């Protein structure tokens, strides 16, 4: 149950220009609707210089914790992942994933829970963190349906999304005008449902996420406070 909530917390490749990306910080609260269990999360995008950016995510609830970090570069007006790390602890068996995107050798080299991973690397392939930035910018560009090739374990999975429309979301910083997006899954393969909201007036920062598991359990994260390019996020 705690693992599912942390998975929901962690949710979160069209051509873009580097100057379109703005650093941000965001804090979220998380709730599991069936039980009085709550958590918190922090998500930050930092400019490392030399065209490199780092997206960092940290979540915690009770004794569980999760950290996810990706480094990417903007090259030829597209996101190019460089490194990805994931650590989860406090949930029985921990989980550790590391991936190095070696573009000169055209290989993704790393390990997943101690098992070596080596995957052919082609242009457009993303890690499980960087694709979230691509989704954010695709929504900002007005796309209505999106599809990404993402390294998932020792395989490559296709992540599909579609825009449902506009919706105002009530948060602790006020009412936020947002774009509502859902993850598209084959209902014969998965009954999990994931819906996300991105702030229209705040560089399409993730405002909220709702996830319903196949067993009907429901989780939600909601923006508590944030900044975009140094400006404090405020509602209307």
What is the residue whose two structure tokens read 């009085």? 36
Strand 37-49 with 206-212, pairing: unpaired
Q: What are phi and psi of 3, to 5 degrees?
A: -60, -40
DSSP calls for 82-117 = EEEEEEEESSSS-EEEEEEEETTTTEEEEEETTEEE
The pLDDT of residue 95 is 87
Quote the number of domains for the chain: 1
- The CATH number of residue 111's host domain is 2.50.20
The pLDDT of residue 17 is 45
The pLDDT of residue 90 is 73
Spatial separation of the C-alpha atoms in residues 111 and 12, rounded to whole Å = 23
> What range does the domain containing 119 cover?
2-232
Of 37, 18, 41, 15, the C-alpha closest to 28 is 41
The pLDDT of residue 48 is 96
pLDDT digit string (tens) for the chain, length 236 residues: 445 544 444 454 333 444 478 999 999 998 766 555 678 899 999 999 988 999 999 988 776 788 999 999 988 888 999 999 999 887 667 789 999 999 999 999 999 988 999 999 999 999 999 999 999 999 999 999 999 999 998 899 999 999 999 999 999 999 999 999 999 998 877 888 999 999 999 999 999 999 888 777 788 889 999 999 999 999 98
């Amino acid at each position: 149950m705690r693992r599912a909530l942390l998975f929901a917390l962690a949710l979160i490749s069209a051509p873009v220009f580097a100057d379109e990306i703005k650093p941000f910080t965001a804090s979220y609260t998380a709730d599991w609707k069936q039980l009085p269990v709550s958590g918190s999360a922090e998500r930050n995008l930092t400019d490392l210089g030399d065209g490199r950016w780092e997206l960092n995510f940290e979540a915690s609830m009770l004794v569980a914790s999760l950290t996810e970090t990706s480094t990417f570069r903007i090259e030829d007006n597209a996101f190019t992942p460089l490194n990805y790390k994931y650590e989860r602890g406090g949930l029985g068996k921990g989980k550790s994933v590391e991936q190095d995107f070696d573009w000169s050798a055209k290989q993704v080299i790393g390990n997943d829970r101690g098992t070596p991973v080596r995957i052919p690397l082609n242009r457009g392939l993303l890690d499980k963190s960087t694709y979230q930035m691509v989704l954010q910018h695709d929504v900002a560009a007005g796309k209505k349906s999106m599809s990404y090739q993402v390294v998932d374990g020792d395989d490559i999975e296709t992540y599909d999304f579609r825009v449902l429309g506009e919706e105002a979301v009530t948060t602790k910083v006020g009412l936020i005008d947002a774009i509502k997006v859902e993850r598209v899954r084959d209902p014969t393969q998965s009954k999990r449902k994931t819906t996300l909201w991105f702030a229209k007036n705040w560089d399409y920062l993730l405002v909220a996420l709702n996830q319903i598991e196949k067993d009907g359990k429901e989780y939600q994260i909601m923006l508590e406070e944030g900044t975009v390019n140094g400006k404090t996020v405020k509602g209307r």
